[in-house]
A and B are shown apart, each in its own frame.
Chain A
Amino acid sequence: MNWKTFYAMLSRDGHVARRNLIPTLVQNLLQPMLLTFVFGRILTTSGMMKMDYKNVLLPGIIAISMVLSGVWAVAMPLISEFQFTREIEDRLLAPMETHWLAVEKVIAGMIQAMVSGLVVIPSAWLVMGKGVSLDFSHPLEFAAVCLLVALLSAAGGLTLGCSIGQTQIGLMFSMVIAPMMMFGCAYYPWSALASFPTLQYVVLINPLVYASEGLRGTLAPDVQHISIPLVLGALVAFDLVLLVVGLKKFGDKAVS
């Protein structure tokens, strides 16, 4: 394994990310902030929602932002680099086994997901105004959930990015990402689905559920949530599957 090469590729991604900092921030922050404002501020202040809905919503918003930014950061460049221009070729020719390039992309994606989680927490908190009470008394569990969610998003981005072509990006959003967000228990706790028993079990195939529930369980433990060990187990399983599938697909795409 050639660490110099690996590090050079990470710094290339870092360099490009810094160059696109503002657009990336806007893209990753604007939508969650609008959601936060409408659901977490307007609906609560007007009395249509209870004030403690803020604590339900905030972890969900963090989960969505992390997952989306990680998926986006890995999948979008991959899709375009594997297209007709084959921009990735130069890096595939670097003196390193090609699967390490996929690993590098995953790590760069995890970093972006973490950064966007870190930025969203205070900004969403600010936008929601009074009445948010997050609980940071389980830092280890919180860190573990964050890491696993970041890996989930980056590995998911790798799998998606190596599975679809440029023309299918729109379709991916309406058919994969949008339903995932709606049924990802980000805007409501999983327990709220109790009155829809079938749906409650069907959504369990959606990894975002565990991201939302995990962050909720560690940041707002008073809200009813899936137990943390279960969440961690499910996240590890999803991470592994997506990583293995993503690496395989990357390998297939890398050579002709």
Chain B
Amino acid sequence: MGIGIRIEELRKVYDTPPPSAARGGGFSFTPMRTAGPKEKKKKLEVVALDNISLEIRPGEIFGLLGPNGAGKSTTIGILTTRTQPTSGRAFIGEYDVWKQQVKAKLLIGVVPQRPNLDFALTAREILLFHGAYFGQSAKERTRRADELIEKFKLTDRADHMVRGFSGGMMQRLSIARAMMHDPEVLFLDEPSAGLDPQTRLLLWEIIREYNRLGKTLVITTHYMDEADALCERLAIIDHGKIIAKGTPQELKASIPGGYLLRLRFDRVSDELLAQLRAIPGVSEVRSTEPGATDVYADRGGTLISGIVSSAQTAGVELRDVHIAEPSLENLFLHHTGRSLRD
């Protein structure tokens, strides 16, 4: 039981604009028009993934964490047969995703970042037809659809066309749809985007419960707390590269000190930095921008008095202090020099 995932030296370079912006995939009334813009488009190269290797163990909840445009959805796209890698290989269980697509597709369920529900159908029909695509018998799919509609609290809208659904309802339905055929591996691309806090907790519970059945889950998110709360292991991606991986605890422990104090002064001098470094418990001091300094330390608030007196000694004025507890956010900051939300 349990299906693992392996990614080997995956690269993806997009050389065409995304489909929504595409000018119609090459059809043109005058042959002349295709030649011109196409040559220009070749230059529009985006390296979305830059040599990523990764192993996801059977039965774990694995998190892909990274800012917008990091390459999370591209990774999921490649693992789910929807995006063709430029080079490298990806395996679901023993199947090469690109060479044995059908076998791989039988094992996976996918919740896309943007709901892509079939607008010509009602919520219940979406689940029933999805079950039918996966060869479930009429009895089985009716039972399973009822169960999921109930679980995702869609009972009163089950027989409405999904056109009129709110964003969160569509999101819930797409998660239900992905679970409909009981896949061994479930991919969730930003599953909690657009959910209210209560539904988010419900979703977390559903994810954990599904995992307890021995299923592998891959989740992308840019919420640190979500990754922290749900995932057994994480990879942090930025600009198409993996910058760190491990359990949330390991990752947090890898930040020098653990606590991060973001300080603002009217100016920063070398003397000040030296003073700060000398405070007991401080493991690293970095001046990030004029007037701002990040202090990594093994404790938080108790350092303030030391910082204040260092400032006085150095003759600068302390303007602002922000204390962050050990978190993935700090980790990201430490590895990239940027905050996740920048």
Contact = CB atoms under 8 A, between A and B. Distances in A.
Contacts of B117: 87, 90
B29 A162 contact: no
A85 B119 contact: yes
Interface string B77-115: 100111110000000000000000110011010101010
Given A249-B26, A256-B19, 6 more contacts: A8-B135, A85-B119, A93-B82, A93-B110, A94-B133, A165-B25
A89 B25 contact: no
A95 B133 contact: yes
A86 B135 contact: no
29 contacts: A4-B135, A8-B129, A8-B132, A12-B118, A12-B121, A12-B132, A15-B121, A82-B19, A84-B20, A85-B114, A85-B119, A86-B114, A86-B116, A88-B116, A90-B118, A90-B177, A91-B133, A92-B81, A93-B105, A93-B108, A95-B134, A160-B27, A163-B26, A164-B27, A168-B24, A249-B27, A253-B19, A256-B77, A256-B84
B89 to A, nearest CB: 16
Describe A's contact surface by its main secondary structure. Answer: helix
A2 B105 CA distance: 12
Interface in A145-174: 160, 162-165, 168, 171
Interface residues on A, range: 35 or more
Interface in A9-52: 9, 11-12, 15-16, 19
In the A-B complex, the 5 residue pairs with the smallest Cβ-Cβ separation, listed nearest first, are A163-B27, A8-B132, A94-B133, A86-B116, A4-B135
A179 to B, nearest CB: 11
A224 interface: no
A91 B133 CA distance: 8
Interface in A55-103: 77, 82-98
Interface in A163-194: 163-165, 168, 171, 175-176
A89 B29 contact: no
B262 to A, nearest CB: 39
Given A11-B132, A255-B83, A96 B102 contact: yes
Contact of B135 (A5, A84, A85): A5
A256 B120 CA distance: 24
A2 B135 CA distance: 9
Interface of A: 2, 4-5, 8-9, 11-12, 15-16, 19, 77, 82-98, 160, 162-165, 168, 171, 175-176, 249, 252-253, 255-256
A95 B184 CA distance: 14
B120 A19 contact: yes
A46 B29 CA distance: 41
Contacts of A253: 19, 25
A11 B141 CA distance: 15
A96 B102 CA distance: 6
B36 interface: no
Nearest to B110: A93
Given A175-B29, A255-B83, A256-B18, A94 B134 contact: yes
A16 B25 contact: no
Nearest to B177: A90
Contacts of A5: 132-135
A162 B114 CA distance: 22
Contacts of B32: none
B229 interface: no
Contacts of B14: 256
B129 A89 contact: no
B125 A93 contact: no
B1 interface: no
